[in-house]
Structure 1
Amino acid sequence: MNRATHRTSKPAVRPAGRRDSRRPDVHQPSLFDAPPNTAPTTYLTTVYRLRVEPTYDGLATALNLRYLREHGFAPQQRTVGDSPALLLQGVVARQRADWCDALASLTGEEVALGYSNGGAALLLGVDEHVYALTYGTLGRFMVADSAMDPTFGIEFAVRALVPEDIRQVRRRVMGTRGRVDRSLVPGGTHIRMYGIDKWGEIVGQITGRTDNPTLTECRRTGRPMRVTGSDSLQLRLALSPDGLRDDLREVARVCRQASPLADLEFITQIRPVRPADPRLAALTAELDHQLGQVAPTDIGVAVPGHAADAVDQAGSYTIRMPRSGRRRSVYADLELADLLAHSRGVPDGQRWTSLRTGQVTVCADAAGRDEIATAPASRWLTAQLAHGTSQLMLHEGHWYEIGDQHRRFLRDEVDQILSRSSDVHLPPWPLGENERIYNERAAGAGMVLLDRKLLRTAQHHRGIEACDLLGPSDELVHVKRADTSAPLSHLFTQGTVSVDALLHEEDARRALIEMVARQSGRELAPDFRPRKVVYAIALGRGRPVTTATLFTFAQVALYRAVKSLRTEGVEVEVIGIAAT
């Protein structure tokens, strides 16, 4: 090979992995670089659907005017394609960050740094709908909550997401104050794998992928697109006016014409009602009216989730309610009539506000001095009211809308539970006889009296009731008298808490065996495990226990209790107690 040929056979450029300090630093393309000279055609956008008219005047009614005035942001009329639009944009500057003082205190040196937050919102009308596209930290705050449609994001998601490719779910558990669970599967899985309780959990946000070639991003990439649905939608929307219009029209078409997918439809059946929902004024007025009555039919008293353990140790309850004309009062048991006695003294139109600022406190002693749990009085009420064709339920101070299909399916499940016969029989319960005396009398028929006798364990150091009566075949019998079905949700929870302790806590089993021996001389097996729970219920005025006499929330609580107990191999029976 001659010298010239050898030279031309060498590479003209050094390998990319080596750096030559004599050459300029040339950027090597990576997998994540966009192709040169190619502008993006879509952008990840948060979009809300607004309940206003698609005109400039209508768009103006959706603005958060207080926020805009506070920061000096002014809306500007625009058109996007042929759609009327309002553009809002601005920056909020902070001269000094809150954490500067913390750093200065720790280091002894002055730290003075500020920052700015920016954002924008674009409100536009497309056909009969109005949307708000929000950007940055501040964009969301430029739009009034009262104008937003809280069903929008979920409504699209249950019709568009692939059920087998759900990436994230956020849900609120009914019956447990404030508990919110978030489950994340980065690679996606079927919605069934999230183990959502269809009857007692509310899905507030769901993330997955949609494969809709009409949407710009799916058509551009030829792949499914990630979408998050809640009260808003987060998805990639086209950046051209015509493309954006077409994307929003497709979103509207899916919401209007597509049926919810079978595996996702349950998500729509219980929905929280937003604080700005226009129906709340009428609901509050009706609730206020019923709170002024002696015996309202649609209201009951219920135990907040965080106070459930405390109720087992209750020696008394205290009620304090502003503007009622009554002093703080002490009661041996908490009845709806006690709360109503206070609420009736509050002026018309102020009762719900008074309940929200008032307090119900659980006390360990009879005098109402040893406080062990407290909550706003509003959280101790449950209600089920109709508004037009809607059924709405009040639970722990929040309103929920119940779908027709949910009520029908739930009713069918509860009918099956109530139809089971039982070998446990209890005597009639005379009107006016309190629960303690009734249980003492019922214990004479082969039962062991365990009412108000607490099992104190490492897990439950304040104590829990194993049951009110231990049946002839070691059934755990829980007894409750209720003028309405609302207090029963706590009864059902008691059954699951007791079984959980007796199955999984050795000290609870040992305490129960010793307690039963002391009370009756009956010997339980050293390896005792509960096999059956019986809920014995006496409803006011001698009504039978049916789906027609149980509030929806009581049905939900019963269904969840049965599901939980059967998972542990424990059977459940519900019996009615006759009234005399």
Structure 2
Amino acid sequence: MRYLLPLSSAEVTADRLVPIDELTCRLMAGVLPSERPSWASHVRSLTGIDVELPGSSPFAVLLVPLGRWTYAIAWGAGHLLLDDQLIDPGFGLQFGIRRLDPSRLGFVASSALGTSGRSSQTSIPGGSDLGGFHLQPYGDLINRLAGAADLSGLTYHRDTGRRYRIRTGDGLFLPLPCNPRDLIADLLAIEAAIEAQDSDSLLRPAFRIRPVPKNDRHLAELGERLAAALGGDERFGRLGLAWPAEAVDAAEGAVTFRTLGLERNAPPVERDLELEDLVAAFKGLSVAGRVNKLGTAKLVACADEDGTEMLGRPIAIRKWLVFETSIGFTRYCYNQGQWFKIGEKFVSQIRDQVTDLLKRRADLRFPLWTPTGKPDDEHRFCLKAAMEPGYLCLDQNFATTPLHPRLELCDLVGPQNELIHVKWLTRATAASHLYTQALASATSLRDEPEARAELDKKVRAHDASRAGLNPSAVVLAIAGRRWDIDQLFALSQIDLLRLDSAVRHQQMTLQFADIPYVEKKRSGRAGQAA
């Protein structure tokens, strides 16, 4: 019964052990009563009529312990009774990857890697391959698939010889036989299919990155490793600072940041955040204390030096941290407050592609970046760079489009019409803010004519001879460190490949540049801030 949720509200008509072939299984069946639908009060508030619409949802669940799994076969509303903490995530997807016809997919549901919350469900009644669903080649998590499938080895195929349109996700929707012996044979055939090699499957990309489920056996160990890193222990991996997607807009106007629930009377932190600003207060805590604090502490952008005028809402500090570690042959990545696991082979493939990508160096010269310690340090550098022949400064010169009310198209325009995005990065800082800015610009220039018009208008305001600008490249230019594959987290590398894909769709080339710089000196206030 541990696989099922409590049934106090259900009218149970059957709850017994039953033999299925040579196995002892458990059957639970009944109805879930409903006195009135939740929307009945809304009807009454609008019409004055009190509607009574009692109903019931019949359910049945058969638990079959077989091999390394206990199978839950559900009818009607039976799936609502299953404890999702105990469901093997992606079980159905694993079968679908091996048996779905990759050229005749009818439905794909996906979500974006990260915290944006973007999700999509696309149906193509006539069927298509994955390319027809316009998925991002990197960073899209496929949650459900449906389409024509090969059910060889199962009773349905034996009896009909036909394919069947299955639905896959955590669960698996397909026809099962009525004969108990055939049912057990089919379950064993499903298990054998999932255990089979899938390296040749064209759908394998659907399973290269997965969120770590709440019941994963390594989750406690991962939490302990993250807590160790918060205390300064790098035995298990590096800790880094990343910008959450929802913080990027507020950060543009931030003068300082203020921590909440981390340390009493902590002074505000400089706009140019460092990892130490967030993790210093964790070091004096126990491992359990660090985990608890990570769940409650927040960070908010402020428009003043005293940290009293908040910009936007506070964001959990756990979403500002990145951490990676390996257990066995699996790479685990903590990003934007969530754990993901990536197969080691895929990590190697991504690393090889990004290594080649970083070889695209921009033929640009930049002046020396000497940090001023001022909140507008980046803008000061961009103005300095714009004094060089052919460079134009568009930093803090925001564009407005229907989809982006506050869009920074680039920081600098280069001599050959390069769109240059500039950022100071430290060793422990992920480049998420830089990637987000460049991706928003590239996609807006691709999809919104208004963005093209705004870019042309802003360039002409600086140099009328460059009207009708046709950007040739997008350049990511950094100071504080150099572009180095060993300094990029795995999920940061995936973000970089997604950006490259978006830039190529705009008929531009993604390039990289290292800005000469003087090492930054940390101020006493920021160094003490928690």
Query: Could you say which TM-score interval applies, normalised by the shorter chain?
Result: 0.7 to 0.9
Residue equivalent to 1:395: 335
Q: Which residue of the partner structure matches residue 133 of structure 2? A: 194
Change (3 A) 1:271 1:539: farther
Deviates more, 1:546-555 or 1:112-121: 112-121
Q: 1:504 to 1:63 in 2, by over 3 A?
A: closer
Asked whether the equivalents of residues 386 and 393 of structure 2 are also in contact (C-alpha less than 8 Å), the reply is no
- Aligned residue in 2 for 1:36: none
Tell me which amino acid in the other structure corresponds to 1:480: K
Please name the residue that 1:11 is paired with.
none
CA deviation after TM superposition for structure 1 residue 447, in Å: 6.1
State whether structure 2 residue 419 is matched by structure 1 residue 476: yes
Q: Structure 2 vs 1, CA of residues 405 and 114 (structure 1 numbering), >3 Å: closer, same or farther?
A: same
Query: Alpha carbons of 1:501 and 1:265: their partners in 2 closer, same or farther (altered >3 Å)?
Result: closer
SS in 1 for 2:126: strand
**Structure 1 residues 110, 430: closer, same or farther in 2, change over 3 A?**
closer
Distance 1:160 1:515, change over 3 A: closer
Distance 1:223 1:250 in 2: 17
**Which residue of 441, 447, 454 maps to 2:397?**
454
Asked whether the equivalents of residues 513 and 524 of structure 1 are also in contact (C-alpha less than 8 Å), the reply is no
- Structure 2: runs of 5+ lacking an equivalent: 519-530
Residue 424 of structure 1 corresponds to 364
Question: 1:502: how far off?
Answer: 4.9
Correspondence list, 1:283-298, <5 A: 283-293=222-232, 298=238
Q: What amino acid is the match of 2:201?
A: A
SS state at 1:77 partner? strand
Look up the match of 1:212.
Answer: 151
Q: Secondary structure at the match of 2:287?
A: coil
Q: Does 1:533 find its partner at 2:474?
A: yes
Partner amino acid, structure 2, of 1:249: L
Deviation at 1:238, TM superposition (A): 0.9
Q: More displaced, 100-109 or 153-162? A: 100-109
Q: 1:261/1:184 Cα in 2 relative to 1: closer, same or farther (>3 Å)?
A: farther
Equivalences for 1:197-346 in 2 at 5 Å? 197-293=136-232, 298-322=238-262, 324-327=263-266, 329-344=268-283
Match of residue 126 from structure 1: 66
* Displacement of 1:87: 1.7
Partner of 2:515: 577
Query: C-alpha displacement at 1:179, in angstroms?
Result: 0.8
Count of aligned pairs between the two proteins: 512
C-alpha contact (below 8 Å) 2:295/2:318 kept by paired residues: yes
- 1:162-216 alpha-carbon deviations (Å, 9 max, x no partner): 1111111111112451111111112212223223223211111111122233211
- What residue in structure 1 maps to residue 489 of structure 2? 551
Partner of 2:50: 110
2:499 maps to 1:561: yes
Structure scoring higher RCO (CA < 8 A, sep ≥ 6) equals 2
Task: Say yes or no: does 1:493 pair with 2:432.
Answer: no
Which digits, 9 at most, give the CA deviation of each residue in 1:230-250, with x for residues without a partner?
Answer: 111111111110110111111
Displacement of 1:488: 0.9
- Write the letter of the residue equivalent to 1:478: H
Query: Match for residue 410 of structure 1?
Result: 350
Partners of 1:572 and 1:193 in 2: CA distance: 25
Q: Is the 8 A contact 2:300 2:310 kept in 1?
A: no
Aligned partners of 1:270 and 1:559: how far apart in 2?
15
Query: Cα–Cα, structure 1 residues 419 and 408, in superposed 2: closer, same or farther, change >3 Å?
Result: same
Aligned equivalents of 2:331 and 2:324: distance in 1? 7
Residues 429-466 of structure 1, C-alpha deviations (whole Å, 9 max, x = no match):
56886544544544444364636422232437753323
Contact kept in structure 1, 2:261 and 2:296, CA below 8 Å: yes
Q: Which residue of 1 aligns with 2:525?
A: none
Higher-Rg structure is: 1
Correspondence 1:101 to 2:26: no
Superposition deviation, residue 409 in structure 1: 2.0
Shift of 1:380: 2.0
CA distance in 1, matches of 2:363, 2:109: 42
Q: How does 1:65-104 map to 2 (within 5 A)?
A: 67-68=6-7, 75-104=15-44
Letter in 2 for 1:147: L
2:528 equivalent in structure 1: none
Where in structure 2 are the equivalents of 1:165-184 lying within 5 Å? Answer: 165-175=104-114, 177-184=116-123
The Cα offsets for residues 257-315 of structure 1, whole Å up to 9 and x where unpaired, read as 24344311111211111122221111111112212229895222222223333333333
1:463/1:101 CA distance change after superposition, 3 Å = closer
- 3-state SS of the aligned residue for 2:135? coil
Please say which of residues 356-365 and 67-76 is displaced more in the overlay. 67-76
Most deviating of 249-258 and 462-471: 462-471
Contact 1:169 1:203 survives alignment (8 Å): yes
Change (3 A) 1:141 1:344: farther
Q: Are the structure 2 counterparts of residues 327 and 92 from structure 1 closer, same or farther at C-alpha, using a change threshold of 3 Å?
A: farther
* Distance in 2, Cα, partners of 1:393 & 1:329: 29
CA gap 1:176/1:96 in 2 versus in 1, 3 angstroms:
closer
Q: Which residue of 2 aligns with 1:355?
A: 294
CA RMSD across the alignment: 3.0
Shift in Å, 1:331: 3.3
- Distance (whole Å) between structure 1 residues aligned to residue 129 and residue 325 of structure 2: 35
Structure 1 letter corresponding to 2:75: Y
**Other-structure match for 2:521:** none
For the Cα contact (< 8 Å) 2:36–2:52, is it kept in 1? yes
Equivalent pairs: percent with the same residue? 29
In 2, Cα distance between equivalents of 1:503 and 1:131: 47
- One-letter code aligned to 1:399: W
Give unmatched runs, 5+ long, in structure 1.
1-59
**Cα distance in 2 between the residues matched to 1:94 and 1:158:** 38
Q: How far apart, CA to CA, are the structure 2 residues paired with 1:475 and 1:416? A: 20
Structure 1: how far apart are the matches of 2:410 and 2:361? 20
CA distance in 1, matches of 2:404, 2:167: 43
Q: Which secondary structure state, in structure 1, belongs to the residue aligned with residue 216 of structure 2?
A: coil
The 1:333/1:246 distance shift into structure 2, 3 A limit, reads same
Letter in 1 for 2:467: P
Would you say the 8 A contact 1:321–1:328 is kept in 2?
Answer: no
| Code of the aligned partner of 2:396 | K
TM-score w.r.t. the length of structure 1 is: 0.80
| Counterpart residue number, 1:159 | 98
Change (3 A) 1:471 1:388: same
Answer whether contact 2:107 2:146 (CA < 8 A) is retained: yes
Change (3 A) 1:149 1:511: closer
